[in-house]
Structure 1
């Protein structure tokens, strides 16, 4: 495109040069002048057409057009972002609605994660729901995948959540397959099921659920699954390593359990 425009400019300049040379050479010779007039008429017509094609918008016009396109693009990007956010929110709410159908005794307040605690090495975060909607300290927090943790502080519109990886986290749990019970704690950077009986029947792959003991966490919420079994060399007690159901690193929303009954949740598949 640039080469075409360049060639046309060269042609136009050439035609102008020819015209100037012709004017100087015609003089007062009428026959030659008549013929020259015929030739120049065609040249002027051609040069006018080329000049019209070479006409480009002014700098102001280009700037205005660029600004218009930029504004339209920004409007489209905003509409797309709002649509995706609404779609994600609807998906989340429908997911929790499905959970409530399985567990109608739960009263949930779902919300999006506002920010993560940079100084918290255990995955803690702030959730966009607070005391105005009934959130209190020690309320359980869950996501569609299972148990997340509990509320440790709350103001009117937000709350701080500590995950199961918090050092002071202790959750009474049971094996969904064998009903063996134990206490889930953080140990050596992972989640460990401790205080198992010597005669337990826990095996790798079993689903671990909350037992409801202690009144903090609703019963039968998925916590994770058994990834490894072992024996503590210091006291010969059995333990199980647990792979959590919730992915705390990529969590974007969760729900606070405002209240629940003792019937519990049946979410294990």
Structure 2
């Protein structure tokens, strides 16, 4: 094939030039209103070539326009997706602010209804292992927090400070196994000691003759000098005793959801 082209390159070149001239001539003839017989023959011979070129041009133009449209559409889609992500992020932020405002309003209502001096604090860490139930707050001795200070929220008792640093404190939750609080049943005034067992609590040393019922509230008794009187600790879930026991066994759950604890209050003045 290469040898053939070398041998006939002049002939092929001349033929190509003739075809180009004829094609150009036929294009010019299309704009004329009157043509001769020779010109008609030229038009008839070049018609298939002209039609093919026109069709190819149309297809190329359509492809290019579609390509430009697709590129523009893709850019618009990217812009819309980014705007959608921004709106979602903004919505999440707004919802977070609304939830925070709702929690803070509860704390504010508690502060306004209670004459004690309180210090708001944020929960910055937690330890919920099988051995310990503690959290860390962002207030410490520099803000007047000391070991033994009660920690509460609007719903009820959270725990007490067991270690205070300059700008942070570790709080022992009421559900910790080493936690004990002087408490009583609000309805019957039955006294006992609320002890944590990891997830829930029990009220120990409650006399068997007192009629404690499910859903009774357990509140702080004010004894012991740590927690002021009347703060809610939890709600009774089960009561057990037998005829030979001096005390009844009372199980109850805390009113505070420690898995969603974010803001707390430190009671700076525990005087009832």
Instruction: Give the TM-score taking structure 2 as reference length.
Output: 0.70
Partner of 1:9: none
Partner of 2:32: none
Provide the secondary structure at the position in 1 that maps to 2:194: strand
- If asked which structure has higher relative contact order (CA below 8 Å, sep 6+), I would say 1
The Cα shift of 1:209 comes to 0.7
Matches within 5 A, 1:43-122: 43=55, 46-56=58-68, 66=78, 75-103=86-114, 105-117=115-127, 119=129, 121-122=131-132
Instruction: State whether residues 229 and 241 of structure 1, in contact with CA within 8 Å, keep that contact through their aligned partners in structure 2.
Output: yes
The Cα shift of 1:193 comes to 1.1
Instruction: State whether residues 182 and 195 of structure 1, in contact with CA within 8 Å, keep that contact through their aligned partners in structure 2.
Output: yes
Instruction: Give the TM-score taking structure 1 as reference length.
Output: 0.71
Q: In the alignment, is residue 243 of structure 1 matched against residue 253 of structure 2?
A: yes
Partner of 1:265: none
**Higher Rg of the two aligned structures:** 2
The Cα shift of 1:167 comes to 2.6
Instruction: State whether residues 138 and 169 of structure 2, in contact with CA within 8 Å, keep that contact through their aligned partners in structure 1.
Output: yes
Q: How many residues get paired?
A: 236
Residue 63 and residue 90 in structure 1: after superposition, are their counterparts in 2 closer, same or farther (change >3 A)?
same
Give 2:44's match in structure 1, choosing from 24, 32, 35. 32
Deviates more, 1:150-159 or 1:36-45: 36-45
* CA RMSD, 1 decimal: 3.7
Provide the secondary structure at the position in 2 that maps to 1:137: coil
Instruction: State whether residues 204 and 229 of structure 1, in contact with CA within 8 Å, keep that contact through their aligned partners in structure 2.
Output: yes
The Cα shift of 1:95 comes to 0.5
Structure 2: gaps (5+ residues): 1-18, 27-40
